[in-house]
Amino acid sequence: METQGHRGGARPGEPSSPLLRLYLLGRFEAVREDAPIPAHAWRRRRPADLLQLVALTPGRALGRDQAIDALWPDKDPASGANNLHRALYDLRQILGGRWVDIERGQVRMRPDVWVDVDAFEQAIADGGRERLAEAVSLYRGDLCPGEREVPWLSARRAVLRARFVEAAYPLARAHAEAGAAAQAIPLLRRLLEVDPAAEDAHRQLMRLLAESGRRAEALRQYDACEGALRTAGVAVSDDTRLLRQAIQRGEVGHPQARPALDGVRRAARRLLGTVDPPPVRGRGAILLLFESLVERGSGTLILLGERGVGKTRLAVEGARIAQSRGAGVLSCVAGAQGAGVPYGLFADLFREECRLAQGVADPFADANFDGRASAEAVRLRVFDAVTRGLATLGEGRPVYLLLDELHDADESSLNLLHHLALHAGAQRLMIVGTCREDRIHAGTPIQMALSHLDGGRLARGIRVPRLGLVATREQVADLVGGVPPDALVEQVYRVTDGCPFLVEEAVRAQRETGHQVPAEPRAGLRARVARLGPRVEGLLAAAAVAGQRFDFELVRPVTGLTAHEAVGALEACLEHGLLDEDGSGYHFHHGMVRDAILAGLEPTRRAALHGALADALEASAGHEPPSEALARHRREAGQPERALRHLVAAGHRAAARAGLREAVAFYAEALELLAGQASPDPALRLELLEAMGRVQLELGEVSGAARSFGDAALLAGAGGAGRPDVRARSHRLAAIAHAAAGRIDSALAEVAAGLEPAGDEPAPLLHLRAQLDWHRGQYAEARESARACAEAAGRAGDADLLARSHDLSALARGMLGEASTPEDESDAVGLADRCAQDAAPEHPLDLHLVLWDRDLLGDLGCAELARGAGLLVDRARLREAPEAQAAGRLGEGTFALAAGQLEAAELAIRAALDGFRSVGSALGEALALERLGLLLTVLGHLEEARSVLGEAVVVAERSSLRRHALTRIHAAEVRHRLASGLTAAAEDALHEASETAARHGDCLACDAAFRPEAVRVALARGRIPDADLEVLSLEEIARQRGGRGLAAVARLARARVLAGQGRTDDARAALAQARFAFLAGGQRYDAARCVRLEARLGGALPDDLKALDALVRVDADA
């Protein structure tokens, strides 16, 4: 296969295009043909440990017994050999070849694998300033930082840290001697992170800080030095103490630092192109809202309006008000990091702060992403790091956070915004965002984010209108520097209709030409570019294709201009207000300027510029090629073959950073391009399908995930790509997707298909089958599947699955009334030991969490279901498994709520919530909050329920199976709002539930949650035909897939419609049928709702039904 190298941009110490690169410094990542191997491939520890061990062994070879002793010291020789061979097999599947193999009793790695550790050590050995700089750039952090407890890595990690210090200090000193403090200071800070007791480095850093005018920082550095040396048991030297005294007396460096731009001026320069923007005109009412926000000290405002109406200028004015009252100001803009980059909005903020100030921690640095961590863990880590980072940057002050161009923000950034808005009060955050109204469409990330903010009462939207004639007159006066003629004002107002940006353009055009105001300001803009000549036009064309913000050094070669010509064109653009410079690069003065340039480009020229920019990016990319930008440019250049590998890499990168929706977009486009090839690579398609399915499952797009895994299973079973293990795994993951949606029969069919040629997969498949059988009440079958799983796990040496099979066996026997076997009761393998084994979790999510609600819709009674949940709690306590214990408690709470045991339900649900929070399970926390919000609604604690459900949405946005959790939460919000008498708000929540359910796919539990509420909303709005259609859908679902529980739900919904149609007798009969079915299943609360509705329809209730009716505490909830 042809691979594309990085022209002129080979990474330090590596060949131009190695087929396999291995990064161990600061992260663990393998890159095959420029595409990172997805993080989920390394969920098993065994192959990753073996790869690291061989890569770090001198000569890349070690004896077979040495490898076994290092990796599995507690195993007997036979088990160790079995583990080694399984690890080699897994490694071949992951890497796509025999990169590591056994030859004559030696475990060897191929010599053509590039390893960053080797390149790092070779660069240091070569010496010289350039090679030392390469070594420093290669050292991204500690060796394999995610493996702190692995003994054979510790010694090598310490050696490499020392080597980095050896390379970094002379390089920092050389920078300092050359007067390059900007390069020396961050390097010294990196060095001191590795070796905090390096006193020479502390002293050098103190001197450089003082000489740069940062005396306070220099003195704080002395305190850090003193503390580090004290920890090391060493006293501060006289030289360091004397330097401190000299800095205190002002004898080193400038007595005072040159004042940097304050937050408002920085924001104005970056977003408006000037540190001194013109006055705000005609916005008095909005400015009062900013005053109110600053007085409160926290909250969120979203400025909405069309392009050019002045939203950003207003947001900057709000920043000025906040700063004048003592707040710190931080700003960022969406899209600056490129389309599709997860958390791009906040990455822009921290990248800019890191550029301006040394020592700022960047939450989005590669070293902060552990390839083996779950998406939930990654997102939680990012959210916490950003929250801490904002507090640190605020330095104890309230923070005014300006988020520009929210309509361009990625979904991950918007989820993070929602999290910050929820906690704005505690964090003292004043959040102000700008957003174009014409970019808000149903189902888009920005529309969903704004709906969530509005529904949770976390933000206020402010529409920014165009200016009136009086305010336009004031703006024109500011632009001309005096009182403008009435004719000019009227003419400008007529052609611009009070749009501030167009007013600016119209006045500029009139002043530059001396003619009348152009009838179309955009045409005047294009004419102005044409007057500046072809060089300016060429520069602007290349810049427009590059993006709203661009790197001049990247764009310059693409223009075809000489360096002198390009700089001259750039200066002309700056002078005439077409481009702005903000200290970190250049950007178009306004998006309308860029749009006008793009509109004038012929398609062929635009495609050629995209191709040239991609070439320039690859040549200058160095160590980390920007896959997202390269994919876009290659695609727009009409180079699908070259775009494909960048799309794959961008998708894997997004997935590793838990940017799930962004990853799906990249994978989908890659699959589309691959399908268009004459001879698509089956191995690449298989990799993409499995990666796509995993991300879809994390998102909760279960129908899409089932399709992706199903296609992967078919491809893996095909003759040319025959992979029995991958086929079995794909069937298993497809089964999990079906099970998560409550489609148990479909899940069992996938399990059966996977067991045919299971390869290494029989134990996980059998465990899944046992779980599914247990949840559908087939306990004898569950026991037998658990027994078969134990046998398979024992043969495979998988201690984790062996223990889990005994757990399921005990649960099945408990439900059958049988005594547990000695093996089931054995606790020989405790939790800590099992976690240390080489065992990937057999499921990417806890099925108990999503199957409890489905179980209520079948034929099993509440008492039986509650007994099963109690057995799970007891077993989890025995195994010291807090997450499983929390899952069991959630089941107990769910069934207690259904049974009308409200106090017991609250105790169990709150215990589950505490348990999920303690282990960091966002899915568990979100579902527990949904149950708690529903319970509080039932109890009549409506304000507390509103707050709990609002928090649930925020948590669900970072959880696995996200769409499932959100659909259920939105359905609970509908019910809560109806109980509160807020019909219009309930309809808004219903729209959210419907949108999310459509993405989620066909899900039994979610249909049962939101469709009955859709019936109630339609009836409340007087739309009886709509309600009837919803009931018909629910009845069909109950007929095809439900049991007694779902049939009762559908019958209750039908009774509501019959009552709405005035068919009272038929409604009473339907209610009696529903009540009987609910009581047969022990679901007393829903039976009580039926009774309350029967009472509304008239007629006396017998005493036993009156007692049932008393369960309903909020009449509107019936």
pLDDT digits (tens, 9 = 90+) for 615-644: 988 887 655 668 888 999 999 999 999 999
Longest dimension (CA), the chain: 98
* DSSP labels, 454-508: HHTT--EEEE-PPP-HHHHHHHHHHHHTSPPPHHHHHHHHHHHTT-HHHHHHHHH
- Assigned token pair, 647: 């799309």
Given pLDDT bands bounded at 50, 70 and 90, which one contains residue 836?
A: very low
pTM of the complete model: 0.84
Distance (Å, whole) CA 828 – CA 965: 36
Given pLDDT bands bounded at 50, 70 and 90, which one contains residue 826?
A: low
Q: Which of 36, 117, 107 is nearest to 69 (CA)?
A: 107
pLDDT digits (tens, 9 = 90+) for 870-879: 999 999 998 8
What number of CA atoms fall less than 13 Å from residue 345's CA on the CB side? 24
Asked whether residue 828 carries a pLDDT value surpassing 50, the answer given is no
> What is the structure's pLDDT at 756?
83
Q: Under CATH, what is the fold of the domain 264-465?
A: Rossmann fold (3.40.50)
- Assigned token pair, 1078: 């609910």
Same fold across 142-248 and 264-465: no
With a CB cutoff of 8 Å and minimum separation 6, the contacts of 982 are: none
Residue 150, helix vs strand vs coil:
coil
Asked whether residue 257 carries a pLDDT value surpassing 60, the answer given is no
* DSSP secondary structure letter of residue 25: B
Distance (Å, whole) CA 1047 – CA 1054: 10
Asked whether residue 5 carries a pLDDT value surpassing 60, the answer given is no
Given pLDDT bands bounded at 50, 70 and 90, which one contains residue 834?
A: very low
Q: At what angle do helices 627-636 and 603-620 cross, to 10 degrees?
A: 150
What number of CA atoms fall less than 13 Å from residue 158's CA on the CB side? 5
> What is the structure's pLDDT at 370?
63
Given pLDDT bands bounded at 50, 70 and 90, which one contains residue 254?
A: low
Asked whether residue 3 carries a pLDDT value surpassing 50, the answer given is no
pLDDT digits (tens, 9 = 90+) for 371-393: 667 888 889 999 999 999 999 89
- Assigned token pair, 884: 């499983």
Superfamily name and number for 142-248: Tetratricopeptide repeat domain (1.25.40.10)
> What single-letter amino acid sits at 703?
S
Span 700-715, average pLDDT: 95
- The residue ranking higher by pLDDT, 19 or 272, is 272
Cβ burial 156-178 (10 Å sphere, 16+ → b, else e): bbeebbebbbebbbebbbebbee
Given pLDDT bands bounded at 50, 70 and 90, which one contains residue 722?
A: low
Distance of CA 180 to the CA centre of its chain: 37
Distance (Å, whole) CA 815 – CA 969: 31
pLDDT digits (tens, 9 = 90+) for 98-147: 899 888 889 999 999 999 999 999 999 988 888 888 898 889 888 888 78
902 neighbors 938 (Cβ within 8 angstroms): yes
- The residue ranking higher by pLDDT, 498 or 821, is 498
Between the alpha carbon of residue 1019 and those of residues 1028, 1038, 1053, the distances in Å are 9, 21, 11
Helix %, strand %, coil % for the chain, to 5?
65, 5, 25
Domain ranges of the chain: 142-248, 264-465, 763-828, 1034-1117
Residue 912, helix vs strand vs coil:
helix
Given pLDDT bands bounded at 50, 70 and 90, which one contains residue 833?
A: very low
661 neighbors 412 (Cβ within 8 angstroms): yes
> What is the structure's pLDDT at 258?
37
Q: Calculate the average pLDDT of the chain.
A: 88
pLDDT digits (tens, 9 = 90+) for 762-791: 889 999 999 999 999 999 999 999 999 999
**What element of type H or E holds 108?**
strand 106-109
Write the burial class of residue 838 (CB in 10 Å: 0-12 exposed, 13-18 middle, 19+ buried). Answer: buried
671 neighbors 681 (Cβ within 8 angstroms): no
Distance (Å, whole) CA 756 – CA 732: 12
> What is the structure's pLDDT at 1032?
96
- Assigned token pair, 962: 């996200």
Q: What percent of the chain has pLDDT over 70?
A: 93
Helices (H), 700-761: 702-716, 724-740, 744-755
Dihedral sign of CA atoms 759, 760, 761, 763 in order: positive
Q: Which of 348, 562, 315, 356 is nearest to 462 (CA)?
A: 315
pLDDT digits (tens, 9 = 90+) for 328-337: 999 999 987 7
pLDDT digits (tens, 9 = 90+) for 47-76: 888 999 999 999 999 998 888 888 888 888
Residue count (the chain): 1118
> What is the structure's pLDDT at 761?
66
pLDDT digits (tens, 9 = 90+) for 744-764: 999 999 999 999 865 656 889
Distance between start and end Cα atoms, the chain: 65
Asked whether residue 8 carries a pLDDT value surpassing 80, the answer given is no
502, 503, 506, 512: CA torsion to nearest 10: -120
> What is the structure's pLDDT at 238?
92
With a CB cutoff of 8 Å and minimum separation 6, the contacts of 929 are: 913, 948, 949, 951, 952, 955, 969
* Pairing label, strands 29-32, 35-36: antiparallel
pLDDT digits (tens, 9 = 90+) for 479-495: 888 898 888 889 889 88
pLDDT digits (tens, 9 = 90+) for 176-232: 888 888 788 888 988 998 899 999 999 999 998 888 777 777 888 898 899 899 988
Given pLDDT bands bounded at 50, 70 and 90, which one contains residue 796?
A: confident
pLDDT digits (tens, 9 = 90+) for 271-317: 998 888 999 999 999 999 999 999 999 999 999 999 999 999 999 99
With a CB cutoff of 8 Å and minimum separation 6, the contacts of 703 are: 737, 741, 1000, 1001, 1002
The Cβ of residue 16 has, within 10 Å, a number of other Cβ atoms equal to 12
Q: Which of 204-218, 547-561, 1050-1064 has the highest mean predicted lDDT (pLDDT)?
A: 1050-1064
Q: Which of 16, 141, 3, 1042 is nearest to 619 (CA)?
A: 16
Contacts 24+ apart (CB under 8 A), 75-82: 79/797, 82/797
1046 neighbors 1004 (Cβ within 8 angstroms): yes
Given pLDDT bands bounded at 50, 70 and 90, which one contains residue 256?
A: very low
Given pLDDT bands bounded at 50, 70 and 90, which one contains residue 77?
A: confident
Given pLDDT bands bounded at 50, 70 and 90, which one contains residue 261?
A: low
